[in-house]
Structure formats: structure tokens, C-alpha cells
Amino acid sequence: MKELKVGIIGATGYGGLELIRFLHNHPEVEHIELFTSSSAGETFSTRFGHLVSIHDKPLNEINVDTLSTFDVVFTSTPSGVTSELLPPLVGVGPKLIDLSGDYRLQDPSSYEKWYKKKPAPLEIIQQSVYGLTEWNEKNIKEASVIANPGCYPTAVLLSILPLIKNELIDPNYLVIDAKSGISGAGIKPSQTTHFSEANENLSIYKINQHQHIPEIEQAIEMFAGAKTNITFNTHLVPMTRGILSTTYAPVHAGVTNKQLTECLIETYRDHPFVRVISEASAVGTNRVKGSNFCDIHVKLDERTNRATIVGVIDNLVKGAAGQAIQNMNVQMNLPQTSGLHVVPLFI
Amino acid sequence: MKELKVGIIGATGYGGLELIRFLHNHPEVEHIELFTSSSAGETFSTRFGHLVSIHDKPLNEINVDTLSTFDVVFTSTPSGVTSELLPPLVGVGPKLIDLSGDYRLQDPSSYEKWYKKKPAPLEIIQQSVYGLTEWNEKNIKEASVIANPGCYPTAVLLSILPLIKNELIDPNYLVIDAKSGISGAGIKPSQTTHFSEANENLSIYKINQHQHIPEIEQAIEMFAGAKTNITFNTHLVPMTRGILSTTYAPVHAGVTNKQLTECLIETYRDHPFVRVISEASAVGTNRVKGSNFCDIHVKLDERTNRATIVGVIDNLVKGAAGQAIQNMNVQMNLPQTSGLHVVPLFI
Amino acid sequence: MKELKVGIIGATGYGGLELIRFLHNHPEVEHIELFTSSSAGETFSTRFGHLVSIHDKPLNEINVDTLSTFDVVFTSTPSGVTSELLPPLVGVGPKLIDLSGDYRLQDPSSYEKWYKKKPAPLEIIQQSVYGLTEWNEKNIKEASVIANPGCYPTAVLLSILPLIKNELIDPNYLVIDAKSGISGAGIKPSQTTHFSEANENLSIYKINQHQHIPEIEQAIEMFAGAKTNITFNTHLVPMTRGILSTTYAPVHAGVTNKQLTECLIETYRDHPFVRVISEASAVGTNRVKGSNFCDIHVKLDERTNRATIVGVIDNLVKGAAGQAIQNMNVQMNLPQTSGLHVVPLFI
Amino acid sequence: MKELKVGIIGATGYGGLELIRFLHNHPEVEHIELFTSSSAGETFSTRFGHLVSIHDKPLNEINVDTLSTFDVVFTSTPSGVTSELLPPLVGVGPKLIDLSGDYRLQDPSSYEKWYKKKPAPLEIIQQSVYGLTEWNEKNIKEASVIANPGCYPTAVLLSILPLIKNELIDPNYLVIDAKSGISGAGIKPSQTTHFSEANENLSIYKINQHQHIPEIEQAIEMFAGAKTNITFNTHLVPMTRGILSTTYAPVHAGVTNKQLTECLIETYRDHPFVRVISEASAVGTNRVKGSNFCDIHVKLDERTNRATIVGVIDNLVKGAAGQAIQNMNVQMNLPQTSGLHVVPLFI
């Protein structure tokens, strides 16, 4: 028994709520405390009724001394917050796992361009490790700061990295059409996420401007060694959870559908959370709902010699809290599946 | 460690799928086998993609000899099936927990009237114990056949039984208006449950004719000692999971709102799955989604001297598979929460 | 051809948008102008993209002189606004149809108690006529101020008034369980109507405290001559449009199901927007979606001698904008169906 | 007044129901009769409750003599039916407008390959005119048989044809990612469209195999003069109505975003149902819901020199019944907007 002491900063967002959901059933987590910059003292379950009898403790004020006694601290805030909030915590004790985007881009000027915010201190960015667990386990194990991947990049990268790395698809004309449930827009109400206007509505947003574009390109270069110039668009789908990304790529001459599929199977043979699905009809966001799975599927169109590559995740789990806990497990020398071994809800 | 061997008959329905979801994370369950009368040999996860890598075993044919070696057998079939299928299994070994309605009504003629089907053998009906865990624990512990309660009766009974038993409300004019998500209609497609027609549609069905009427009246008599003649109607709500029942009752003279609430709190003090919610704004089906909780709330209208009593459950969990496993836990001398200690999804 | 000139104050709400939707296809309406207290000058279709090429004109400032040249002015604002905004317009020219609740309650102290706001001037309240078209046509024709009914009261009253007036049901124990789609909460985003939290959630709100309670009781007394003390609760259903109200009432001795149904048929024989539906399976909010119909159904439970009475409307049409236009038609001596003769969407 | 007599074969599908919805409000349509091969005699509004008091007439048996007296006959059946059913009606009197796919592909062997069904007689195929109204008006006016376009092709073609025809984008690498609401799957229930499994699920289907691929390629060649080899995939979105297609294409050297947008505006200047939307944030399926509009938007990514082209329709209206009536209007020398001038629902 590890009896871990875990803190969450930013628990009042959907990423934070999912951290609570999984950590409360994590066999090695003994103690969970929630921290806030705004609502200290408030009883958490008064605000979030589903946690009555589960987490009735009050929210705590953020305090470095207190936090220094924790084993792990998750920061799950909107972007632009942990760039200031996290540095004082580096090196004081806990492993830090940041779910915001503030530590993902290694180039601060790229962060400024895409996020339109002031970047985090360069020295902390350089210490941070990109937490795409299946592709970066060794570095994650040693890291003190984890930049947990974005939701879209997780679905996209897990599905296409093996095919690029193994030179089966041509990375020069990647078209990535991604679709997300509305929880990806966060907990703060807005006209776009107002039920009557979001329901029964499919829309496209941030055309060519999503901040996950540089994150995906950086990771393709990092893990598959290819410089790319991707086309990436995002759509809002009237459902709460789930991301499905559809990537289109020309295949290299002579490549077969069998080779594509086997490359995926081979890559993820020992990775319990990535499932290569053979039948497209078995691929859907409800097949991973509530779980840490990423389901992937590839299909070659012999008529056009282009491949369709599909990645499916629960955006709040494998795309956020689940992967963050998976990274914690790696750091703490626990089985990756510890506390995450739940069956998808399906319905 | 108990290392229980558990069988499920009727795994290809939503009740069965939920049993699988929870049993795969139950710490005392070692072995799960699925049985079918129709599709033996088929790999289960081919049909239900969310179970890929979780339950890839084939479905087994129903066989009494095989089943006799199990500790517990759940039967989760449409009504009218276990009345014939279950009797040969009685006494051969496993505890039997029936999720269909076939063993709930003690009076076979009432079953015939409301279900319009041939009743189960009287001697088996008489052995069976009604599995409303919080109200029948002692009998459940000894029972070899459990009649797991219906989804609607669970929400209704848990919320109103304490108030009737303690003579705070008048049981002579109970109006119960119940609403359910569409998963309650089962896995078989129909025009009523066809997405385009069920979506954005609220409807009423089986007016005055729902088979849960005699079940609720029988349980009120059994547990609260009152003969009743309830008004009970059911509505189909465009969501997948969840039941919310709203019961209206006159209160006895002089009864206060405080007394009503305290009666509920007192009754369920030691019952981890029933939560008395003080603020109506914190009551909703998403507060229990995916979990075994039943949330209840009561409010006296001093203007009319009538009480509104609300019960909320996930129909597939506390209203089916979750309560069935809770009953198994009681029978096996395990903590009631074993394998069921999940946090509601909320979103 | 009437060539009516129509103004809408409060067009940026859902009621206002529905007024625009119908008035743009109204054969006798020549000219539509929108007025606002806050966003004058803004092009309306920039804010509401569905109106591109339909209503590209800017919003106008509210001005009594300008408005005095109109034939009809609809006010569709949140409650508490027209109590001040409307009086200067009374008598200056246009017929006034108020969709807010400010002129519905004849007793200002009741308004203060239930709305917790300052009531409108008594002399204007006394001039105003309750616009439940099917029950008040003669007065509506003469009125200069119409208090358009609330959404819930419309569904409830149309379904139960005939049975009370004809003394078939006992008005002393009316339990009304009403359910509404989320558009009823208006256009302003909030946590309750945030997609991720409203979706897949059924909840109850304003228990015993809904401001439609005195409105329903007042109308029962006005049109059916009975003083009542109703129980009335409201639920939020995860769909955009639609209200279904289920009313429970004891029937008077000897009353049959046939009598109940025939009473409804007889009452509404010449009313094109109220349909008495004989089969409960054909009753649902999608059967009236987008249209001005109110579908009603009654069923006697001979076991308990209580009736279940169902009323179904599109809350934004018959429950708001549609009924308002129906009232305009009456005032303008047009057929009631003018501009409202649309077929429900169904899906 | 034209006083048209119109027949619908296949009224019991969603396309047929939408034809009824619009034709009942069409000012020039005097008489509507429904025909069926299976359920003659049945009262239509008994089956479809939303049509009570609107279309209470029985379904008629299909009979050539009877149908020969009609001005227009719409056939709205599943594919593979009108290939046999329609030929006897050709030339006997009415204009024929076929909403199935049986007459769209000019090459019968292509039909056989993609539909896996026996093609219609070649001489009828050759007489038929592709009913993409905005691009084929002259031929439609003269045609006796109209092949009404598929839902996906309508959204895709209207948005990309101008850019290909005017040589602004390169047609050699078109990637079309299309998404549809579930009504596109038709009225027949199935596991895929079962509410509990379709709700909260986003999936991909018919990868590289959708029968609309040859239809789109044929139309690009016909109207824009380019031979193409498109990549086209389709996704099922948990909503009832709506199609949004996202097309990705390289732009020719030097082309600007302004040129792309102006090309669209110029092309559709005199076409009331195609709206070029300048802000992506105003593009969404709910902006066209229930209406015959096709909204289009284009955005150049200067980083990659590729364009994103979006087309949005209500699949049942502009993608089926609405466009069919628009074609009828052209054939009957009526304004294209006759009977179709409805405002989108938005919510």
C-alpha cells in the first residue's frame, strides 16, 4: 500500500471532478484534498451534489507549505493560470501534473501565438515532460512536472503516431477532422454551450486556429521524427463526453490495409488502454465512455490510396483526468491501470 | 478473498451488461461466465465492442450441471422467461438472483393479471425474497432465491416507505408520477425507442396499467403495514439512464417539514446507498448516474398540507444490476458496498 | 389584406424569436420591427444567424412615438420589465400583447408574493384580458392589453377546464405534475442550463413555489367557477421544446371514461388548435413540436376512481408566441389559424 | 392559383412525412394523396399522431390509372424500389420526382457496384435529370423524371462546386468529412439507431463505401468539369436532423480568402436558399433546422494553403423533401420559394 496523499488545484472544473471520481476509488490513494484560489471554505458536495457522502470536506486555500506535504498535486485550471501558479510548487515536494496547456509547448513564442497569453517561465517548461503515457513512459517516470496532453492531441496522436513512425503514411498531407462532445468546453456556461442552442446543433469552431495544432505537430516530430504542417479542425457535437478524430493521409506506395492494422496492433501490444478495433462498426465514443481507453481503427481506401485513421476517447478521461492518473501511476511505480480499471459505460 | 464464481443468464440485455460492468471490478469475484439460450459460442465483445479486452470469452449454453458449480447466478431476462428457466436451478447450488419481474408478486393471479403471462411455480415464488436491500436485509441473507425489485418500485419505495411506516403521510391518496430514461425499455429496438422519434419527445405510457403498481402496493403493505390503492403513471424521458419519481401525499395533521426530513435521515442513517438530500436543487438523475445511490428529498407544502417526495436512481444500477450485486454482497457476508463503491458520473 | 405593422419588444429572447418565425410567414403582416432597451443598432441576423436573409434589419430603440404607429406590439421580456415598460404604451395606438407574467394576476399582492417583484399599476392590470384564446375569445376581441398565458398554465388549463366546468372531476384534490423542455428557462445561460449538466439530467425545481400556481387557480375560478388549492410541481427535461402536464383528480361518482373524453371533444369541437387524442400512445411532445396545437388526453382509472389528464404543447408556440399571434388574429378579426397553420415537425 | 394535385408514394418514411409537412402549407397545392404498396386503407394520422386533423385520410393503393390524373408524383422509398415502381408511371401524365437514389447515377454498372442492387432501366435513367436545383434549373424545368439529389451530395456540392468550377481549389485532393443526424438512417428501427445506443455516441460508418461517392464525383464532372477521386467519409451524430460537411482542399497558388468567399457570394447571388455565411461562429445545423436553406462558409488556412469549406443543411429538407418541392416549383413555373418560405427553427 502506497497510501498516497494527493491534492487537486482547480477541482471545480470538469477535469477536476473526474480526478476526484477516479482517485476516490484508487486503491493506493489514502488522502485527497481540494484547493481553490476563489472559494476556500465552501463544502464541496454542497456545490456538487453527486459527491454528497463522498467528498463532504471543504475546499482549502492554496498554500505552498501545505501542498509541499503532498505526494502528487494535479493542477486542472483554465490555460494561463498554472503558468504563474505552478512555479512556486516546483521542487518543494510533490510531483506536479498539469492538465492545462501551459507546459505543453516547448517554444514559449508558439504558446504566445496560439494561446494569446503570457507563457510560463522557460526553465519550468524545459523541465516538464509531455505526458502521452504510451509514448513517453521512461521520461514520465523521472519527471517532476508533467504536461498532461490535450484531449484532441491524445486521440489524434495515439492513432497516427505508429503509422508515421513506421513510414506507412505520408505525413505531408495530414488532414485531421476532429469532433468533440460539449464537456470539452468546460464548466463555465456560455451561449454556445447553453442547452437549447447546443442541443441538436453540430458546428465547427476555431477553424485553423486551435491551440492543439502546434501541440500535435510538436509531438509528431518528437515521437515519430517527422516535421509536419497539419490541417486540423474541430467540431462541437451535441453530446456531453467523447472525442472522435478522423485523420486522412496518403499511404506510401505498396502499403496494404493489413500492414496498417498490424502496425497499430504491434505498437500497442503491451499497452492496456489502447485497443485496436478491427471492425469500424464497433468504433464509437460510447464504447469508451467513462473509461481510460483509446480505441483506434485504420482503413485503407484502395481506390484513392488514402488511409482513414480513427481515434476515439472519453475526452475527460483518457483526454484529461484518466491519463493524468495513468501518469501518476507511472511516476509512483504502480501498475498503469491502478484505479483506472473501469469498464466503459456503453449506454 | 472470497473468489466467487458468478454466472449471468441474459447478459445480452442492459441489465446484464451492467452486471458485467460492476462484477469485473468486484474485488471478491474471481470468475464471470455468461450464459445464453440463443447465441452460445459467439464472442461477447464482438457484439459489445466496449468489452473488447475485458470480456472476450464466448457465451455459454445454459446447462444446469455447469451452473450448479457457481456461487451465484443472476438471471436478467425479459419477464416471462425465468418463470420456466429458474426452477430447475433452485437448490442445485448457486444463490439465484432474478432481475426479471417473475418472482416479485407473491400472488400468481396478480402476476397473470398485470403481466398477462403464465406465473412461475407457486412453491418457488413462496421461497423467493423481495430484494429491497435496505428494508429486507435479514431475509435476503438467508434466501436462496432473490426477486430483485423493479426499477420504479426501488425509487418510489425507498423514498416513501419511511414516511408511511412512521405515519407521517396518509397512504390513502398516494399519487406517484414517475419518469424514466429510455434504457428502461430494454435493448430491443422499436419505433418508440428509435432515436429520431424518442429524442426531443416526452411521453406517457401504460396509464394505470404498469405492472409495477401491484409490486409497489405489496411492498408498502409488507414493509409499512398499510393497504393502499395507488395512482401510478410512467413517462418516457429523452435520456438514456435515470428514474425520478415524484410522489404526492397528504400529511397527517400537525406534521412538519422537519419531521418528514428527519424521519428519512433517521431511517437511512446506516445505509450507505440512500442519501437524503436537503436542497431540491441538488436532486437530479445525473447526481446518481452510473452509481448505486438512491437520492431522496421531501418537501411539505404548507399551503395545501401535502408533501412532495422525490426519489432518484440510475435505473440500471440501483434499479437493477447494482441492487442485485448489493443483494449478493448481503448473501455472501460482504460489505454491501463491495464492488459498488463508484462515484456518480455527474456529467 | 390587412397589411399589419407589428412591433416586438424583447426580440432577443426565445419567445421573441418564435414571434419572428411565425410573423415572417403571416399573410396579413406587412411590416415587422424589433425593439430593444439595450442593443439598438445591432443587426439582428448577426446575432441570430438563422435569420440571415430573413431579418437583416437593425434593432430599434424603444420609443413611444414610433410604437404608436404600429397596429400591434408584442412585449416578450423577462417578468418585472413590462410592469414599467408597458403603461406608457397603453392607449397610444397599438394593441398590446404581453408575453411576460406581469399582467396575468389580477391581485397585485399575489404578484408580489409569487414573483417577488413590484407589481404593474393596478389600472392597467384591470384593463388587461387573460389571453387563453379558447376560453376568452370574446373579451380578447375587445381588449387593448392582453396578458398572454404562461406556458404551463396553457397546457394545464386547456386539458382540465372542461372537466371541472362540467363537474366531472373533483377540483378539491388536483395534483398537477408538469414537465418542461429547457427552452422554458429562457435564453440566458446558467449552470442549470449548461449543456453538460442539463443533458441526461431530469430534475425537479421550484417545489410548491412556481409563480404559475396562482395563475392556474385564478383561471380555474374565472372559467370553471371553482375555488381550488392545487398541488403543482415542475420538472426540467433534457430536451429543448415541449411541455407535458399530467393532472390527477378524483372523478365524481358514476362518471365514465367515455363521458370524460366526450366532454373534451364537445368543448373543443370548433377550436382548431386543441386536439383530443384518443390513444395515449399518440400523445407526446414531438407530436406538437413547432406548432400551435395543444393535444389533450384523459383516462379514468376504474381501480382508484381517479382520472389522469394529459396536456401537451410546444412551450414556445402554444405556450408563448403562437398563442400570442392567435390572440392578435382574434383582435384583428382574422381567422385564428392565420399564419399559424404549420404542421408539427414530429422529428 | 395552380391548384395542383400531388401524390406521394412512400409517405411512411421521414422523406415522405416532410413532403406532407411542406405540401400542406404550399399555396398552390390543392390536393394531396398518399400511396403505399403495403398498408392501403390505414388512416394515416392513426399511425402518425402529429397529423391528426391535418391528414386524416386513408393511404391509397398504388394504381397507375389513378396516379395518371396527378400533376406531380413524388416517390420517397428506400433505394431499389423505384427502379421497378417508377417506369410504368413515366409518360402517363404526372411529373415524377424520385427521392431515392435509383435514378441518380447515369452509369448502371456504377449503381450496381455501390448500391449492390439491380439498376433501373437505362432508358429511364437517361431521361432523368439530376435535381440539384441551383445548378440544373434549365434541365429541371423540362424534365419529366427528376432524380432528387442525396442529402450528403447536396451539402457537399453546393459548397464546393463554385470553387472547383472557378479553378480556385485543386480538385485532385478533396477530403470530405461529412456528419449527419440520425434521421438520415430512416424510419426503420435498428440497433444502431436505438436511442440508448445512438444517444451520446458519435461513430463513423461505411468508410470509403458510401453510395454518395459516385454521385458527388459525377456531379463535380457534370457541373464543374473536373474528374475527381474524392475521399468521403460519413459520421453519425447524436441529433435528429442536420448535415454538416467539411471539405478540405489545396488552393491554387495565389488564391486569397477573399476570392474564395466572393466566388461563393457571386455564384449564389440570385439563389434564395443558399446563404454564404461570413462568420464561422454563425454556422451550425440548428441555423437551418426545419428549413430549405443551405449555409456555406469557406476559410483559407494561409499556414498550409488549404481551404476548409463547410456546407450545412437540414438533411430532410434541402437534403430531401424541400429540394424536391423546390424542383416541383421549377417544373410548375412557380417561384422556387413557394411553400418553402419557412424560417429555421434555431432551437
The reply to whether residue A231 touches residue D248, judged by beta carbons under 8 angstroms, is: yes
Other Cβ atoms less than 10 A from the Cβ of B190: the count is 13
Report the pLDDT value the prediction gives residue D334, as an integer from 0 to 100: 98
pLDDT tens sequence across A181-208: 999 999 999 999 999 999 999 999 999 9
Report the pLDDT value the prediction gives residue C2, as an integer from 0 to 100: 81
Minimal C-alpha gap between D286 and chain A (Å): 5
Q: What is the DSSP string of C135-165?
A: HHHHHHHH-SEEEPPPHHHHHHHHHHHHHHH
| Residues of chain D positioned with their CB less than 8 A from the CB of C347 | 14, 17, 183, 240-241, 316
Considering only alpha carbons, which residue of chain D is nearest residue A241? D200
Would you call B196 an interface residue with chain C, using a CB distance cutoff of 8 Å?
yes
Considering only alpha carbons, which residue of chain C is nearest residue A50? C197
Minimal C-alpha gap between C198 and chain D (Å): 13
Is B290 in contact with B345 (CB distance < 8 Å)? yes
Examine the pLDDT at A1 and tell me if it is beyond 80. Answer: no
Report the pLDDT value the prediction gives residue A2, as an integer from 0 to 100: 81
Is D73 in contact with D6 (CB distance < 8 Å)? yes
| Residues of chain B positioned with their CB less than 8 A from the CB of D187 | 194, 196
What is the DSSP code (8-state) at residue C272?
Answer: T
Examine the pLDDT at C96 and tell me if it is beyond 90. Answer: yes
Q: Which of D13, D32, D10 is nearest to D328 (CA)?
A: D32
The CA R_g of chain B, rounded to the nearest whole Å, is 20
From the list B202, B230, B301, the residue facing C244 with the nearest CB is B202
Report the pLDDT value the prediction gives residue D40, as an integer from 0 to 100: 81
Which among C151, C236, C263, C300 is annotated as catalytic? C151
Give the mean model confidence (pLDDT) for residues A101-107.
98
Calpha distance A31→B164 (Å, rounded)? 40
Q: pLDDT grade, residue A37 (50/70/90)?
A: confident
| Residues of chain D positioned with their CB less than 8 A from the CB of C49 | 277, 279, 282-284, 287, 295
Other Cβ atoms less than 10 A from the Cβ of C190: the count is 13
Examine the pLDDT at A341 and tell me if it is beyond 80. Answer: yes
Would you call D50 an interface residue with chain C, using a CB distance cutoff of 8 Å?
yes
Would you call C190 an interface residue with chain A, using a CB distance cutoff of 8 Å?
yes
Calpha distance A165→A226 (Å, rounded)? 8
Q: Residues near C77 by Cβ (< 8 Å), separated by ≥ 6?
A: C9, C10, C13, C85, C99, C100
Calpha distance B209→B293 (Å, rounded)? 28
Strand partners, B245: B178, B311
| Average confidence score pLDDT of chain A | 97
Would you call C241 an interface residue with chain B, using a CB distance cutoff of 8 Å?
yes
Place of cell 436505438: D194
Considering only alpha carbons, which residue of chain A is nearest residue D313? A202
pLDDT tens sequence across A123-142: 999 999 999 999 999 999 99
From the list B205, B207, B299, the residue facing C207 with the nearest CB is B299
Minimal C-alpha gap between C89 and chain B (Å): 37
The reply to whether residue A275 touches residue B52, judged by beta carbons under 8 angstroms, is: yes
Minimal C-alpha gap between D73 and chain B (Å): 26
Give the mean model confidence (pLDDT) for residues B286-293.
98
Chains with 3+ CB–CB pairs under 8 A to A are B, C, D
- Cβ contacts from A onto D, under 8 A: 145
Calpha distance A186→A267 (Å, rounded)? 33
pLDDT tens sequence across C181-209: 999 999 999 999 999 999 999 999 999 99
Would you call A212 an interface residue with chain B, using a CB distance cutoff of 8 Å?
no
The reply to whether residue B286 touches residue C240, judged by beta carbons under 8 angstroms, is: no
Q: CA–CA distance from D131 to each of A11, D88, D165, D178, D331 (Å)? A: 55, 21, 18, 21, 11
Chains with 3+ CB–CB pairs under 8 A to C are A, B, D
Distance of CA B64 to the CA centre of its chain: 26
The reply to whether residue C304 touches residue B231, judged by beta carbons under 8 angstroms, is: yes
- Cβ contacts from A onto B, under 8 A: 92
Calpha distance C36→C311 (Å, rounded)? 34
Calpha distance A327→A324 (Å, rounded)? 5
Report the pLDDT value the prediction gives residue C312, as an integer from 0 to 100: 98
pLDDT tens sequence across C17-71: 999 999 999 999 999 999 988 878 889 999 999 999 999 999 999 999 999 999 9
Q: Which residues of D are catalytic?
A: 151
Considering only alpha carbons, which residue of chain C is nearest residue D347? C240
| Residues of chain B positioned with their CB less than 8 A from the CB of A286 | 50
Retrieve residue D288's grid coordinates: 437551418
Query: How many residues are listed for chain B in this entry?
Result: 347
| Average confidence score pLDDT of chain C | 97
With a pLDDT cut of 90, the percent of chain A lying above it is: 97
Report the pLDDT value the prediction gives residue C108, as an integer from 0 to 100: 97
pLDDT tens sequence across B5-35: 999 999 999 999 999 999 999 999 999 999 9
Would you call B25 an interface residue with chain A, using a CB distance cutoff of 8 Å?
yes
Q: C50, C51, C187, C196: which to substitute to probe chain A, counting the most A Cβ within 10 Å? A: C196
The reply to whether residue B346 touches residue A272, judged by beta carbons under 8 angstroms, is: no
ipTM of the complex: 0.97
pLDDT tens sequence across B170-212: 999 999 999 999 999 999 999 999 999 999 999 999 999 999 9
Calpha distance C273→C314 (Å, rounded)? 12
SS (H, E, C) D250-268: EECCCCCHHHHHHHHHHHC
Report the pLDDT value the prediction gives residue A42, as an integer from 0 to 100: 86
Report the pLDDT value the prediction gives residue A56, as an integer from 0 to 100: 95
Q: pLDDT grade, residue B1 (50/70/90)?
A: confident
What is the b/e burial string over A97-126, where b = at least 16 CB atoms within 10 angstroms of the residue's CB?
Answer: bbbbbbbbbbeeebbeebbebebbeeebbe
Would you call D233 an interface residue with chain A, using a CB distance cutoff of 8 Å?
yes
The reply to whether residue D193 touches residue B191, judged by beta carbons under 8 angstroms, is: no
Would you call D38 an interface residue with chain B, using a CB distance cutoff of 8 Å?
no
Other Cβ atoms less than 10 A from the Cβ of B109: the count is 9
Minimal C-alpha gap between A231 and chain B (Å): 30
Place of cell 450485486: B325
Considering only alpha carbons, which residue of chain D is nearest residue C49? D282
Q: Which of B297, B347, B346, B342 is nearest to B318 (CA)?
A: B342
Q: A169, A191, A195, A203: which to substitute to probe chain D, counting the most D Cβ within 10 Å? A: A203
Q: CA–CA distance from C262 to each of B204, C266, C278, D40 (Å)? A: 21, 6, 10, 30
Is B84 in contact with B60 (CB distance < 8 Å)? no
Examine the pLDDT at C1 and tell me if it is beyond 80. Answer: no
Calpha distance C117→C110 (Å, rounded)? 10
Report the pLDDT value the prediction gives residue B91, as an integer from 0 to 100: 95
Would you call B46 an interface residue with chain A, using a CB distance cutoff of 8 Å?
yes
- For A282, the enclosing helix (H) or strand (E) is none
Examine the pLDDT at B257 and tell me if it is beyond 90. Answer: yes
Would you call C207 an interface residue with chain B, using a CB distance cutoff of 8 Å?
yes
**Strand pairing class (D274-276; D294-301):** parallel
Considering only alpha carbons, which residue of chain B is nearest residue D196? B240
From the list D194, D238, D240, the residue facing B189 with the nearest CB is D194
Retrieve residue D176's grid coordinates: 470530405
| Residues of chain D positioned with their CB less than 8 A from the CB of C53 | 272, 275
Task: Return the C-alpha torsion angle D81, D86, D87, D89, nearest 10.
Answer: 160
Residue stretches of chain D with pLDDT short of 50: none
| Residues of chain C positioned with their CB less than 8 A from the CB of D196 | none
Is C316 in contact with D343 (CB distance < 8 Å)? no
What are the residue ranges of helices labelled H in B119-227? 122-127, 133-142, 151-165, 195-198, 212-224
With a pLDDT cut of 90, the percent of chain B lying above it is: 97
Retrieve residue C289's grid coordinates: 413540436
The reply to whether residue C46 touches residue D347, judged by beta carbons under 8 angstroms, is: no
Amino acid at B91: G
Ranges of beta strands (E only) in chain C are 4-9, 29-36, 60-61, 72-75, 95-98, 129-130, 145-147, 175-180, 203-205, 231-236, 243-250, 274-276, 294-301, 306-313
pLDDT tens sequence across A225-282: 999 999 999 999 999 999 999 999 999 999 999 999 999 999 999 999 999 999 999 9
The structural domains of chain D, ordered by start, are: 4-149+318-331 (3.40.50.720), 152-315 (3.30.360.10)
Q: What is the DSSP string of A147-212?
A: EPPPHHHHHHHHHHHHHHHTT-B-GGG-EEEEEE-GGGG-SS--STTBHHHHTT--EEESTTT-TH
Q: Which residues of A are catalytic?
A: 151
pLDDT tens sequence across A50-94: 999 999 999 999 999 999 999 999 999 999 999 999 999 999 999
| Residues of chain C positioned with their CB less than 8 A from the CB of A189 | 189-191, 193-194
